[in-house]
Amino acid sequence: MRLITAPSKAANVGNFGRPHLGKVRCPLTQGMLMTQMLGAFAEFERALIRERTRAGLKAAVARGAQPGNPKMRARDPAAIAEIRYSHNERYLHELVDGRQRWLPTVERLRPHLPWALVLRQIRAISPSARSFSERTLVKACRTLVRAGYADAVILDPAPRLPPDSRVARLVADRLRTHPDSTLRDLASWLSLDLREPTPRGGLAWAPEGVRRVIARARALHLLDDEQPSEIEVGSANGLTM
């Protein structure tokens, strides 16, 4: 059991302190002792409850009782369907409640990019969104599509893209959502958050490399060239380095 240490300002209190015992005022040493004793009794009571519960289950099994849901043991189709429906409804509600943290990213990038890259984008969201693997992300999107909360187009197969086009789409999307990003910001984001390899296979992006990616995004018409766009405003504020 971990001992409870005295407060750091105990020397200024004198011989008396105020341990967390409600409004009871008692000497500091005795207060520490009482707190530790109460903690020990609480742990002892919890251990007793656990032992008695296990003993009761063991005795019930010895008398012939079978623990668990009788309908589930009998594989009742109605009971199985009810539990499955309840589980699916709870899962859907969890997705719907938190979808605004990650679903917009999916809708922007799918089906243009593969699920693996979309997942890396979601994991780079700060503060972190729902924890996904690639399989659970696809499952969540399918669930939301079936429930009418997302467009079915996000489930379409992603085309095969050359690496430079793939990174160009990532950077273009980043500039749409973070228009004030500088070249160094984008380089740090690609290197540290996405861990996107450079064209030469490295992991450290340089601002000049990001500049070439932005040029590629313009060539693919992923960024607007005709009007003063958000990226051009960013260039005036320090995007050109």
Quick: pLDDT tens for 150-179: 999 999 998 887 777 888 888 888 888 888
Report whether the peptide linkage leading into residue 127 is cis, meaning its omega lies within 30 degrees of zero: yes
Report whether the peptide linkage leading into residue 162 is cis, meaning its omega lies within 30 degrees of zero: no
pLDDT of residue 25: 60
Q: 3-state DSSP call for residue 27? A: strand
Least confident segment among 12-26, 80-94, 195-209: 12-26
pLDDT of residue 194: 82
The mean pLDDT of 41-46, rounded to a whole number, is: 94
Output the CA torsion sign for 68, 72, 73, 76.
positive
Using the structure block, give the residue that is written with the tokens 């499952």. Answer: 139
Model confidence at 4, pLDDT cuts 50, 70, 90, reads very low
- Cα separation values, 224 from 77, 116, 227, 237, Å: 57, 27, 7, 18
Asked if 184 contacts 237 with a C-beta cutoff of 8 angstroms, the reply is no
Integer Cα distance of 226 and 223 in angstroms: 9
pLDDT of residue 23: 53
The mean pLDDT of 3-28, rounded to a whole number, is: 50
